[in-house]
Amino acid sequence: MTNEIENFKYVVSSKHRWLDLHLRETLRYRDLIFLFVKRDFTTHYKQTILGPLWAIIQPLLTTVVFTIVFGNMAKLTTADVAGDFEIPGFLFYMSGCICWSFFSATVQATSNTFLANQGTMGKVYYPRLVAPIATACSQFVSFAIQFAMFFCLWLIVLARGGSSIRVSPVLLLIPLEILHIMVLSIGCGIIISSVTTKYRDLAKLVGFGLQLWQYGSPIAYGLQLVPDRAMNWYLLNPVTIIITTFRYAVFGFGYFNTAYYLLSWGVSLLIFFVGLVLFSKIERTFMDTI
């Protein structure tokens, strides 16, 4: 029997080590990831009149609402650091909105990994990690469209002058922050997806939890609004550092603390690792409990 198994190129078995992620195997299924991304993106905008334009319209409308409500009516500060800086409110709110939209959409989509793919997972074998990776990539496509729109507006403001925005080497932080968002959102999403295979009630709390998380992050206001006595606790929120660092990169000034930045990455990587461990454990038996 052993000799027969050795003749096969790939062997599918239910026996795995406690942390067997099949990373090499997942890489071999990159064509399947591309097909899943194409499927998700097509399905999301199928039978809509405006199609992918919704990826632009949604953050635009959200930014307009934030500008009117939090900027013009509530007069909340848009400053992350003390000083006399001129930032167009529209760009300030849009920078936070597109980052948060990418994060929350990825969390919600990946948190539904097992439920959304139980049809294919129950019939065809492929590395289960393919599903959340494809989901995150499909959300990244929408974010790329939104970021292109934001970048065009950023260039217009920069060309017109009259603001404190400047080009600096910290622009190189943008790809790192995009990766940071993906790591944190995938980690949170697969933890939720692993738990909701047995406890469905948690799925109903995801949207509410994300809404509270949004108000606990500096998206509709600047960091200067947070009282000094609460600042240390507030900065432990990894999304806070993601948003402020992203603004620091695109505007050329703002809040950046190396210690909290590294701590945020550490928390995000820890959440991602815990998610992978749970995902690896649940994927073996989820068809029996889902």
Instruction: For residue range 196-225, list pLDDT tens digits in order.
Output: 777 776 777 888 899 999 999 999 999 999
| pTM of the shown model | 0.87
E strand or H helix at 164: none
**Residue holding tokens 């409500």?**
69
Q: What pLDDT is attached to residue 187?
A: 92
In a domain, 212, yes or no: yes
In a domain, 216, yes or no: yes
Q: What is the tally of structural domains in the chain?
A: 1
Give the 3-state secondary structure percentages of the chain, helix then strand then coil, rounded to 5: 70, 0, 30
Question: What percentage of residues in the chain have a pLDDT greater than 90?
Answer: 42
Q: What pLDDT is attached to residue 113?
A: 77
Domain encompassing residue 229: 26-289
In a domain, 207, yes or no: yes
Contact 10, 270 (CB under 8 A): no
- What are the 10-residue block averages of pLDDT along the chain, 290 residues in total? 54 57 75 85 72 80 91 87 84 94 92 75 76 88 92 92 86 94 93 79 81 92 92 94 95 93 96 88 63
Contact 206, 192 (CB under 8 A): yes
In a domain, 271, yes or no: yes
Contact 115, 257 (CB under 8 A): no
In a domain, 96, yes or no: yes
In a domain, 278, yes or no: yes
Closest CA to 284 of 86, 169, 129: 129
Rounded Cα gap, residues 182 and 220, in angstroms: 21
